[in-house]
Amino acid sequence: MMLKGQTWEFTSKPSILASATVVGPEEGQGPLSGDFDYIYDNIEINEKTWEKAERKLLEQASQLAVVKAELTKEQIQFFVGGDLMNQIISSTFAARKLGAPYIGVFGACSTSMESLALAALLVDTGAAERVLAGTASHNCTAEKQFRYPTEYGSQKPPTAQYTVTGSGCGVVGKGGSGPIVARATIGRVMDLGIKDPFNMGAAMAPAAADTIEAHFRDTGLTPSYYDQIVTGDLASVGLPIANELLQKAEIAMDETEFTDCGLLVFDLKQQTYVKAGGSGCGCSAVVTYGHILKRLLNRELKKVLVVATGALLSPLSYQQGESIPCIAHAVALEMEG
């Protein structure tokens, strides 16, 4: 591994041996439905509580990823995971069932790439041979914890986003035919003073722009190197802001396809209830481990930079009038040959 500023360059070419995605019914009605491994037909995920439903999504996705990698859970040396729930209980309880040594992380919605970057680091440095990375979110657990319970029926502004119900996991190791994890840029915490929990896109956009700028500064690459650069969940409000910030930094994002997982996972014209687009830990996880990996394996894409964004607030900090600190972590996925 080589360190360049905020960026890890993985020299031993750790790769994603297999991945799996499990989603809820609304994600299954979106444009990426054909890229998911399993789609539930009910938002309850056949469980009695929303929290148990979220845990089940992660348990199922992690088990399926291990099976697709043609491994047993005993062969997984570490599980790196996190989620949005207090004390990351979805990941912790899923780890209890998986039985692998567990590294719990919290990056809010950036957790998908935070966990993947750490998994690749463990493999690249020789600390492990096979590591599972993953995360999950559920629309109703997030609404209940951070805003208002769904049953309350509160009206939301157009800037609000819709938490994805889903889980995405990947097994990282050496060899295999999957895309390599070429590099990862670890973001800084950014806070421009936004306090509105219904405008997460605007709050997270500066963090996304800062990490993308750091990635190109550290690596010497330009946006044209990548076929696609995709942010985590800036959605229709945050993506234009990030683009404007990057243009001001003289980073020509028009040289690549610049899009967002929150815009890809739902059809904003048909699924109008999602408002500005998707969000949540599961948003970038299911799009990356489902849609993007499928396009890479089919060689429709060869080089993709995924920049997962996260809002690091808590219900307590919001209630005390604190602004929303945000972060973004970027991981570069490449197909060789």
Kindly give the residue spans of alpha helices, DSSP state H, lying in the chain: 25-28, 50-68, 89-98, 111-124, 139-146, 200-219, 235-248, 261-264, 281-286, 293-297, 315-319
pLDDT of residue 70: 97
Identify the pLDDT of residue 177. 87
251 contacts 224 by C-beta, under 8 angstroms: no
Distance CA 319, CA 94 (A): 30
The pLDDT assigned to 176 comes to 84
The type of residue at 307 is V
Whether residue 167 contacts residue 286, with contact meaning beta carbons closer than 8 Å, is answered with yes
Tokens of 31: 């444009």
* pLDDT at residue number 324: 95
What CA–CA distance (Å, rounded) separates 81 from 330?
16
String of DSSP letters for 104-158: E---GGGHHHHHHHHHHHHHHTTS-SEEEEEEEE-HHHHHHHHS--GGG-----T
| Residue ranges for the chain with pLDDT beneath 50 | none
Q: Work out the burial of residue 269: count CB atoms within 10 Å of its CB; fewer than 13 is exposed, 13-18 middle, 19 or more buried.
A: exposed
Determine contact, residues 78/100, Cβ cutoff 8 Å: yes
CATH classification (class only), 2-173: alpha beta
Residue 147: the pLDDT is 72
* 3-state class (DSSP) for residue 291: helix
Q: Which among 18, 42, 65 is positioned nearest to 140, based on CA atoms?
A: 42
Q: For the domain 180-334, what is the CATH code?
A: 3.40.47.40
* Residue 78 φ/ψ, nearest 5 degrees: -145, 150
Q: What is the pTM of this model?
A: 0.97
> What pLDDT was estimated at residue 152?
60
* β-strand partners of 136: 83, 167
Q: Express each pLDDT in 300-321 by its tens digit.
A: 999 999 999 999 998 889 789 9
- pLDDT recorded at residue 155: 77
User: Residue ranges of the domains in the chain?
Assistant: 2-173, 180-334
pLDDT of 318: 77
Is residue 234 within 8 A of residue 209, CB to CB? The reply is no
